Amino acid sequence: MTDIHLKGTARTDNKLWSNDEFEAAIQAVGAERYHDKHPFHKLLHGGKLKKSQVAAWALNRYCYQSAVPRKDAALVSRTFDRELRREWMHRVLEHDGYENDDGGIERWLILTDALGLDRDYVQSMRGALPATRFAVEAYVTFVREQPLTIAVASSLTELFAPKIHKERISGMLEGYDFIDDRVMAYFKQRLVQAPRDADFALKYIKEHAATRAEQEACVDAVRFKCNVLWVQLDALHHAYVNGNVPPGAWRPEDLGP
């Protein structure tokens, strides 16, 4: 198989991929550009960041976490397929919580609390980087507007997530004295949920992408989603590692004037 490293929608033939070829093309996107390869993540997981830099990451990443139920509800709102809605709905519940479960967003706020950030300030998203907000809302819009199968495919960075979460949990627990088991609860929960969600979405797109063009659009959706994640780390790196904090964004005291 030579055509899985295609850029964009260029293609060498129109033959439908087998399920294995289709899955390999998606996996190849992860190998090429999932954000575990970003220098900021290497610093984060390697214990190389100051507390304020980890806080900047958590503050910005809150925007992403809190957008997840909106994008998943957008997908639910678009489909006439009750079984798909029933399956997808639990993603919303995982993040927003349901009944006695406080949900993943609340678990994220335990992390931002531990990093010394004011909860109202985090939730206001006023201090987040504009690039973060744009990337996150681009994702919500993508899921709201793209054909359903392509929208489902954009979730498939979850295929690559358990590895990064494992590295993150061990690396951050080891590297930072301000991180403990309790504040890593969000990621521990995702170790269980992400593989189940990814399996469903992968099966769904294999069943529903009926042409090679649709298959390639699914692979592009995973590329798009990797870009959503990468842009967030680029913006963090530029602002909080290289010291170019844009006007209005959160400015930790130890960053200097």
**Widest Cα–Cα separation across the chain:** 58
Window 135-164: residues binding a second copy (CB under 8 A): 140, 144
Q: Report the residue from 93, 110, 148, 255 that binds a second copy according to the rule CB under 8 A.
A: 93
Contact, 149 vs 202, CB < 8 A?
Answer: no
Interface with a second copy, residue 70, by CB under 8 A: yes
Please, what is the end-to-end C-alpha distance for the chain in angstroms? Answer: 54
Q: In the complex with a second copy, which residue's Cβ is closer, 96 or 216? A: 96
Measured between alpha carbons, how far is 168 from 161 in angstroms, rounded to an integer?
10
Candidates 65-73, 166-174, 195-203, 222-230 — which segment interacts with a second copy by CB under 8 A? 65-73
Interface with a second copy, residue 47, by CB under 8 A: no
Q: What are phi and psi of 189, to 5 degrees?
A: -65, -40
| Min separation Cβ 126 and a second copy, Å | 13
Total residues contacting a second copy by CB under 8 A comes to 26
Q: What is the CA radius of gyration of the chain?
A: 19
Interface with a second copy, residue 96, by CB under 8 A: yes
Measured between alpha carbons, how far is 120 from 111 in angstroms, rounded to an integer?
14
Q: How many Å separate Cα 40 from the centre of its chain?
A: 15
Interface with a second copy, residue 253, by CB under 8 A: no
Instruction: Tell me which residues touch a second copy (CB under 8 A).
Output: 66, 69-74, 76-80, 82, 85-86, 89-90, 92-93, 96-98, 103, 105, 140, 144
